[in-house]
Structure 1
Amino acid sequence: CVLLTTGSFNPVHPSHFQNLRRVKEYLEHEHQTAWNVLAGYVSPTHDSYVRSKLGDSAWIPAKHRCQLCEQAIQSEDPELYSWVTVSRGESTWPDGFIDFGPITEDFRDFLNGTLVDQKNILKYPLRVVYVCGLDHFNKCSYVESMAKQNLMACAVVYRAGYEEQQINRSVKSSGVIYISLSKERNKLMDVSSTQIRQYFQNPTPNNSNVERYIYPH
């Protein structure tokens, strides 16, 4: 299988990659049937959505968000760089913003159409696993629907402060994969792109701890 995570990445921060690592570790070593993760893809969202959401003062153009993601991957460690890369298709789509559901479905169709059907590089079809945090899952019901589609799965990673009632039901009813991090919760870092933007816009002693989660560029 391959992993795909989408989002603004405005800016990218270590938690984005930590979630990919956690899902890979879980699927290869803890999942009921082990899945081999061949690659992970980071797909920054189209400018039309990010700019309308954040405004001109906080928006980073897609070209630069993709570059920042690539630099961040390289600065993490060689192991991450060996299997994670940036997908530019979503951010450069000529018709504008496309939501995460169609993006994931099109990505599945493209990979299988190219690697399996056309070039015969792979003998068996590839499953695409959509990776997101618990916050995204709770507000986007379509994640659960995606998990039921052919050659697709959804892996949701726990995030502090978000209720788990819905995800616990979904694991049983739709097969969504939940990485609950039950043994790590007391030492989790919780940082968001919003906090990093706020730090740059208005640095205060209260948000100075955000510095350690900012990539040097």
Structure 2
Amino acid sequence: MSEIHSKRTTDLSILYANLKLRSNSLEHVVLIKTGSMNPIHRSHVSNMVRTKKYLERACNFNVIGGYLSPTHDEYVHAKLRNELISGEHRIEMCRKAIEEAGQQHWLSVDMAECMAPEFVHLVNVTHSLQQFINQHLNLPKPVRVIYVAGLDLFNRCHGMGTLRKSPFGGVAVVYRLGQNNSVLKSTDAMNDPRVFYVCDNDDEMDTSSSESEDISSTLIRKRLKNNEDCDDLTFKSVLDHMKKVSSKDC
């Protein structure tokens, strides 16, 4: 598959800036998370932050950046039909969420997947990003690109095995205590050095809101249809943008 990333789709400035902040003796890592993000919700961002903190604390990695990559319209439309929010708006809402969360110093939106001519599988998206980053940074040791996945995606997606095989890749699995932990204990991935298990209860992040409960884009869309409050599920700037889009469609 041809590379889908370019300077037009993917901002590398955060990587260059963060490379200057910490010792080059640490292994440099970039995180990526794909998904419909229709719309983006609080856990999309908090799981990236949580993974960054875990990898830096437990693995002594230097996480120099992270990318939220909204999936191509073709896939989202096939899945959600008339509930699709166009890629243009999903990209903009991701930008707004990152800014409202105060994470723009290391998080960015990767537009490559959305702007591709057709749907691209998450494995190819991740490999393309890794190739693009390392071509341009050209460091003595390649930057490791780690895919951030929830436990359900990790268990059902065959592509996770491919991501684990890359010498400078890996998968960070974010899970919740009590979330079918038997799956974690029974899988051979427990002993895989390229799989990193991040418990979303095992850190100092504030989970006093519903972030400690299930959050989904589906729930946001359902609540909005019923004119119910969604402030606990996503960001005010995202909800404001959705209102603007909805008013234009009327």
Partner of 1:87: 110
Q: In the alignment, which of 166, 184, 187 is matched to residue 183 of structure 2? A: 166
Instruction: Classify the secondary structure of the residue corresponding to 1:37.
Output: strand
CA contact (8 A) 2:68 2:107 kept: yes
Instruction: Classify the secondary structure of the residue corresponding to 1:211.
Output: coil
Partner of 1:98: 120
Partner of 1:181: 200
Partner of 1:69: 94
Is 2:143 the partner of 1:126? Answer: yes
Once the two structures are superposed, the pairs formed by residues 9-158 of structure 1 within 5 Å of their partners are 9-31=37-59, 34-56=60-82, 58-77=83-102, 80-94=103-117, 96-116=118-138, 122-158=139-175
- Aligned-residue identity in percent: 36
The TM-score with structure 1 as length reference comes to 0.85
Partner of 2:15: none
Unaligned runs of 5+ in 2: 1-28, 241-250
Q: CA deviation at 1:135?
A: 1.6
Q: Distance in 1 between matches of 2:98 and 2:192?
A: 35
Q: After TM superposition, which residue ranges in structure 1, 4 or more long, deviate above 4 angstroms?
A: none
Q: Distance in 2 between matches of 1:29 and 1:17?
A: 19
Residue-by-residue CA offset, 1:2-33 (whole Å, 9 max, x unaligned): 000000100001100111111110111122xx
- Residues 175 and 150 (structure 1 numbering): CA distance in 2 closer, same or farther, change over 3 Å? closer
Q: Distance in 2 between matches of 1:76 and 1:165?
A: 33
What RMSD over aligned residues (CA atoms) do the two structures have, in Å? 2.1
Q: CA deviation at 1:189?
A: 3.4
Q: Distance in 1 between matches of 2:89 and 2:177?
A: 29
Residue-by-residue CA offset, 1:87-124 (whole Å, 9 max, x unaligned): 00000001x101111111111111112221xxxxx332
Residue-by-residue CA offset, 1:57-80 (whole Å, 9 max, x unaligned): x11000000000001111112xx1
Q: CA deviation at 1:54?
A: 0.3
Partner of 1:119: none
Residue-by-residue CA offset, 1:150-173 (whole Å, 9 max, x unaligned): 210110000466423333321214
Instruction: Classify the secondary structure of the residue corresponding to 2:231.
Output: helix
Partner of 2:233: 213
CA contact (8 A) 1:144 1:154 kept: no
Q: Distance in 2 between matches of 1:211 and 1:151?
A: 38
Instruction: Classify the secondary structure of the residue corresponding to 2:149.
Output: strand
CA contact (8 A) 2:113 2:125 kept: yes
- Residues 2 and 199 (structure 1 numbering): CA distance in 2 closer, same or farther, change over 3 Å? same
Q: Distance in 2 between matches of 1:98 and 1:88?
A: 12
CA contact (8 A) 1:4 1:43 kept: yes
CA contact (8 A) 1:135 1:159 kept: no
Unaligned runs of 5+ in 1: 117-121
